[in-house]
Each structure stands twice: as C-alpha cells, then as structure tokens.
Amino acid sequence: MSAEGSGALSNNGQIVVSGLTKQYRNVRAVDNLSFVVEPGRVTGFLGPNGAGKTTTLRMVLNLVSPTSGTATISGHRYADVAEPLKLVGAILEASAAHKGRTARNHLRCVAAVGGFPTSRVDEVLELVGLTTAAKRKFRGYSLGMKQRLGIAQALLGNPQVLILDEPANGLDPEGIRWMRGLLQGLAQQGRTVLVSSHLLSEMEILADDVVIIAAGKLVTQGPMESIVGQGTTQAAVRVRTPNIQELVAAVREAGGAINPGSNGAHLVTGLDAPAVGKLALQSGVELHELVAEKPDLEHVFLELTQGRAAIR
C-alpha cells in the first residue's frame, strides 16, 4: 500500500463504486452498480426495500466481499487502508455496547482500541449532545440515544468520510433536525457524507446529491435539484372553490383535467396556474386557493422506481 493510503486526509475522500455486484444464492442483491460520492456534500443513498443499499455499503466497508467490481475510498479499497477508522466513520445499525457500561466508558474503550486520545471522547459526546447522559448505563438508552452514540463512535477518529445507514431511525423530530445540522456541518468542513434513508422528505432537505438504486441497479444519480426536476410527473395545480361544477366544466372545455384531491381540494392537470386563474375569472368562479404543486423527491422516487420496488 502507498504511503498516502494510510493518511486519513491525504486524499480527497471520494467514494467510487465501479461495477459492483453481489450475487447471493438466489438473489443478485447488487447488480453492476457504479456511482461516485463527492466530498464536501451530503449524498443521499435511496432505494426501495431490498434494493441493495445495505449490501452496497457493506461492500464499500469490506464487510461483504463483492462477487465482482470494486469500491474505493480516496482511491483505496477499504481493506488496504492502514488506519481505516481515521479515514471512515460508519454506522450500519444503531450502536451496540455492553449494557452495563456507560456511554463514556464505551467510547473510551473504542478510543483505546483505535489509538485515539481519551480527550476525543468528551469532544464527540458534546458533538452528539450526550454529555449529560455520558454517565448513564447503555441499558437505559433509547434508540435515538443509541443512534447518537453510534455517531459519536463514528466521529472518534475525526474521519474524512462518514457512511451512515438509516441514521435517523428512532430519532424524534428534534433529533432529526439535529442530525441534519450535524451532517450538513460535517459536509461543509469538506467531509464526504453518505447517508441511506427511507425518509424522502427529510432527504430532500438534507442531501445535496442523490443516488437512487432499485433491484440492485442504479436508477439515477446527481444533484438533488436536477433529480427532482427530472420528474415527468405532470405538475398539478391545486384549487379550492365553492363553485366546483362551473370550474370542472371550464377546465374540461379548455382541454385540462380536474380530479378531487385531499381535504376538499381539486387537482388540475394539463393547464398551468395562470391559465386556471384566468379561466376561473372568465367563468365567474370564486377561488379560495390556487397553488402550483411542484414535483418533490417522493413523487420522482416513486415514478423512477415504479415496477422495480418489489420487496425481494
């Protein structure tokens, strides 16, 4: 291995997945998958259940050996990195610790094994908001606290790259907001942050880039704005009116379609918001709401993964 391979910050932190494939006996969990994750950005790794996300992350971290293909971090396979904990911090599931041990003692043990200074333990406890709970025994920790402890552990080596599988699991809304701030802050420091999640609305706020896979294959990847803009979902205009019959007639005559939406609203497609407003005015229809709905990540995700979302 080269000298640069041992240094955590010696290379750029890019993750490159190239032709990665994992064949289990009956299932091709990951199928010729290629994508790149850039430093300085939060990348959301998305896919329906059984898409192969966890298997991919495990292959990147050398916990599962690929059938074919490669995954590198800063140009090196994880297995070839001399001090991997200084290069990559990862949580693949909520942290496990000895039940009778406190969070501080647990992290001290991990720090000792990893060769990190003990002072780093209190720093990471502070970073994840566990300082006041540091002396409590692990057995009393909620799932959210375990997630925070997992992140603290991942950050012990001050790694260039963070890989987190479903880190928001078990967090309450305040915890999710906290996690967003933490991960975005880490990316702003130039780190690579790769996060898998099922929470698409949260991902839309959190991630700069997206990689979407389904049935082991790449569906799309790119910056969040361009992925969301990729949705061919016909943009709808949400309207609310006490004169629905007149509006339905006017919309249909103008070549649009109108269907009931949620909470008494209706959704117009085939016409844009100014056209619907003008039609309403011309037809003497009173409007209580006129909103152009934008495609969001959830719409685009469902559209792109439709038919490939079978749970395998």
Note the residues at the interface with ligand ATP (CB under 6 A).
24, 27, 29, 47, 49-55, 312
Closest CA to 152 of 128, 187, 182: 128
Query: Smallest distance from the beta carbon of 104 to ligand ATP, in angstroms?
Result: 31
Nearest to 102 by CA among 130, 126, 128, 135: 135
Closer CB to ligand ATP, residue 56 or residue 160?
A: 56
The residue (of 91 and 111) whose beta carbon lies closer to ligand ATP is 91
Write down the least CB distance from residue 197 to ligand ATP, Å. 9
Residue 84 and residue 116 in contact, taking contact as beta carbons nearer than 8 Å: no
Alpha carbon distance, N-terminus to C-terminus of the chain: 38
29 or 37: CB nearest ligand ATP: 29
Which residue in this structure is represented by tokens 């590198």? 72
Min separation Cβ 43 and ligand ATP, Å: 15
**Minimal distance in Å, beta carbon 85 to ligand ATP?**
23
Neighbours of 65 (CB within 10 A): 9
Choice between 28 and 108, CB closer to ligand ATP: 28
CB closer to ligand ATP out of 40 and 50: 50
Report the residue number, 108 or 308, with the smaller CB distance to ligand ATP: 308
- CB nearer to ligand ATP: give 121 or 164: 164
Q: How far is the CB of 48 from ligand ATP (least distance, A)?
A: 7
Between CA 235 and CA 241 the distance in angstroms is: 19
Task: State the nearest-atom distance from the C-beta of 107 to ligand ATP, in Å.
Answer: 27
Residue 165 CB, shortest distance to ligand ATP, in Å, is: 7
